[in-house]
Homo-oligomer: A and B are copies of this chain.
Amino acid sequence: MDDRASAHPRPTLAGVAARAGVSVSTASLVFSGRGPVAAATRDRVLAAAAALDYGGPDPTARSLRRGSTGVIGVVTEDSLADSFRDPMNLALLDGIGEGLGEERLGLLVIPRVSDPGIDLAAAPIDAAILLGCTTDVAPAVAALRRRRIPVVAIEAVPMQDVVAIDLDNRDASRRGAEHLRELGHHRIAIVTLPLDTARSRGEVTAARIAASAAHTTLERLAGARDVFPDAVAHTATGSRVDEGARIARDLLDLPVGERPTAIVAQSDLLAVGVIRAAELAGLDVPGDLSVLGFDGVRLEGATAHVLTTLVQPATEKGRAAAAAVLAELAGESGRAVLLRCELRIGTTTGPAPAS
Contacts and interface: CB of A to CB of B under 8 A. Distances in A.
A55 B121 contact: yes
A106 B123 contact: yes
Report which residue of A91, A110, A124 has the largest number of chain B beta carbons within 10 angstroms of its beta carbon: A124
B64 A61 contact: yes
A122 B85 contact: no
A81 B64 contact: no
Given A79-B97, A106-B108, A122 B90 contact: no
Nearest to A142: B55
Copies of this chain assembled into the complex: 2
A105 B118 contact: yes
A62 B276 CA distance: 53
B111 A53 contact: no
Interface string A74-107: 0000011100110000110110010000100111
B63 A124 contact: yes
A301 B302 CA distance: 8
A109 interface: yes
Contacts of A79: 94, 97
Interface in A100-137: 102, 105-111, 117-119, 121-124
Given A106-B110, A124-B63, A124-B71, A53 B146 contact: yes
A148 B6 CA distance: 10
A93 B97 contact: no
A97 B111 contact: yes
B60 A81 contact: no
A118 B97 CA distance: 13
B105 A107 contact: no
A55 B123 contact: no
Contact of A110 (B58, B61, B64, B105): B105
A94 B81 CA distance: 6
A342 interface: no
Nearest to A106: B110
